[in-house]
Structure 1
């Protein structure tokens, strides 16, 4: 989920205003805005919301993790051991047991809810050099990780809760051999419920790629003429939630995909305010939690925040 605006930034513009988003988000007394940190230089990047409402946010600026709850507008540092040498943490997710998986640099780490380090795996160098891990998805039998610096998806096997070595699993260049290897810029990654299909975002190609985990066949997801170089993503059934900050107006895009996840159409676009260069999002209930990274102007200006908005795909209630 490393934002492409490090290469150049597209100014935010309003493509479609969704009326009442922030008001609806706070209708049940939950905050519209969450403060990740008031310390300078944090630059939040990734986010996960566990089933119980626990929120985890990663820091691209410091490598630290922060933790809070959807009912509390202030997050606090999460004492995750064994990552003091990691200066940047990007993707962060939780599993059904509440364990916290995160990536940064060349390392994938797993922590328990107390911050104890359960596992640390280091990615091998790719065809272009040292790995720069970006985002991850946890399936029943594996963790898949994208690499920003190499056109490679890495995989670590999960067996009885134990994490295996992190190894290169797929060189995605075969899907478009003419595209320059250094510009694939792999970013967000999600999986279907069974773990048989991955969707991998590529900032460089401005496209979304479908990967069959059995055959490793790769094909582009057809979304009409839509530029879809997504950053972070969430897949819920056939509904794909994505943050885009490159190649299209910056904001949250919600697409409805076909049953086989090969085609789809964008149904909702939420751009402009209240976002400040969003990088990724999480979904909990009928709310979307969107990270305001400020990565277009580092080190940004505290406080660093997460915005909560109503999920436009949720049924409306009176």
Structure 2
């Protein structure tokens, strides 16, 4: 999720371009879903049921029902936010279903925020790193929440108490990412972006945006191994979604030629090698930044990086068929 800093052209919106629908039970889900007009978007996640959340660099969070398309502002934007002054206060998000807590990466503020995903009440604010450190994306395990750092080889761990409750006290631990060879510039991620955890929480997979590499990372020690993917990944790696043994890697502008890609990767059991089985494209994708699964559909948000953002700029979420993988 960090084409954001490379392109300050982002905004969340409400453009319901109903270009088609597919069935879920006896109810139709639209292919495109409105988001919040004029609020530059980046993070996206799905919580309980069909409720999704779209965050903006301006600090706002939009809550929307993917079934009905109806939404509301859950968290208001920061007052006097200046996008063109380089401000950025919210990026990646994930919901812990045990508590319905919404964990949010604090971008250039260097913090992590926690909200009640139902009411929008702020219930936690944790400073992970100094101001101007870009806290980028989020993964939740049974015992901790992990945040990536786009500005250095670090990972931040926020320990959780039993049942996913917030820690008593600070609970923040910085973890240095260390590869096998300190002289190798690709030994560990230095512009870390998307992050997912294995089901047991013992291993993290982190994407490096600038180098188009992905890494297997031990969340306790920070030891990282570069995952060798054939054919190699391309482009600017943004958000990562894991589903049924596959990684869906969001790549705005694809290989640089223009259209967005979702690169689909199958990993070996040791998580050391992978095969890029194909890509997903769709004309409704426009600067994909973050995504999440609902059933067998992948929803992505569209930051529209090449569109000048203004108060009336419209944006949407796109529903993708994961079966539509092209070689």
Taking structure 2 as the reference length, the TM-score comes to: 0.80
**8 Å CA contact retained: 2:56, 2:91:** yes
The answer on whether the counterparts of 2:175 and 2:220 sit within 8 Å (CA) in structure 1 is: no
Task: Indicate whether 1:55 and 2:52 are aligned.
Answer: yes
1:287, distance to aligned residue in structure 2 (A): 0.9
* Distance in 1, Cα, partners of 2:135 & 2:181: 20
| Cα 1:26–1:278 shift into 2, 3 Å | farther
SS in 2 for 1:94: strand
Shift of residue 6, structure 1, vs aligned partner = 1.7
Q: CA RMSD in A?
A: 3.0
Distance 1:246 1:262, change over 3 A: farther
The answer to whether residue 294 in structure 2 is matched with residue 287 in structure 1 is: no
2:228 to 222, 240, 243: 222
Distance 1:95 1:297 in 2: 33
Q: Deviations over 1:110-153 (max 9, x none)?
A: 1112112221101123xxx7311100101111111011122211
TM-aligned CA deviation for residue 251 of structure 1? 1.8
Partner of 1:139: 141
- Compared with structure 1, are the counterparts of its residues 26 and 213 closer, same or farther at alpha carbon in structure 2 (3 Å cutoff)? same
Which deviates further from its counterpart, 301-310 or 247-256?
A: 247-256
How many Å apart are 1:198 and its aligned residue? 0.4
| 2:239 paired with 1:232 | yes
**Pairs aligned (count):** 294
1:118-129 matches, within 5 Å, as: 118-125=123-130
Cα distance 1:215–1:186, how it changes in 2: closer, same or farther (>3 A)?
A: closer
- Which residue of 266, 275, 278 corresponds with 2:285? 275
Alignment of 1:82-161 (within 5 A): 87-96=88-97, 97-104=99-106, 105=108, 106-112=110-116, 113-125=118-130, 130-160=132-162, 161=165
Matched, 1:191 2:197: yes
Report deviation, 1:53: 1.3
Q: Give a deviation string over 1:10-56, Cα, whole Å, max 9, x none.
A: xxxxxxxxxxxx75646751111111112x2x121111111311100
| Preserved contact between residue 221 and residue 262 of structure 1 (Cα < 8 Å) | yes
Corresponding residue for 2:173? 167
Instruction: Give the Cα separation in 2 of the matches to 1:172 and 1:290.
Output: 31
Question: Which structure 2 segments of 5+ residues have no match?
Answer: 10-18, 82-86
Residue deviations 1:215-246 (CA, integer Å, cap 9, x gap):
43211111113225521111124211110126
Partners of 2:246 and 2:112 in 1: CA distance: 27
Cα 1:226–1:75 change in 2 (3 A) is: farther
Cα distance in 2, alignment partners of residues 29 and 7 from structure 1: 35
| Partner in structure 2 of residue 73 of structure 1 | 69
Cα distance change on mapping 1:247 and 1:220 into 2, 3 Å? farther
Residues 207 and 220, structure 1, Cα contact 8 Å, conserved in 2: yes
Mean alpha-carbon deviation: is it higher for 191-200 or for 207-216? 207-216
Moved more, 298-307 or 201-210: 298-307
For 1:75 and 1:251, how far apart are their aligned partners in 2? 27
Q: Any conservation in 2 of the 1:68–1:74 contact (CA below 8 Å)?
A: yes
Distance 1:4 1:47, change over 3 A: closer
Residues 175 and 275 of structure 1: is their aligned pair in 2 closer, same or farther, counting only changes over 3 Å? Answer: farther
Q: Distance in 1 between matches of 2:4 and 2:213?
A: 14
| Deviation, structure 1 residue 298 | 3.8
Residue deviations 1:78-107, cap 9 Å, x none? 1379x7688431101100121111112311
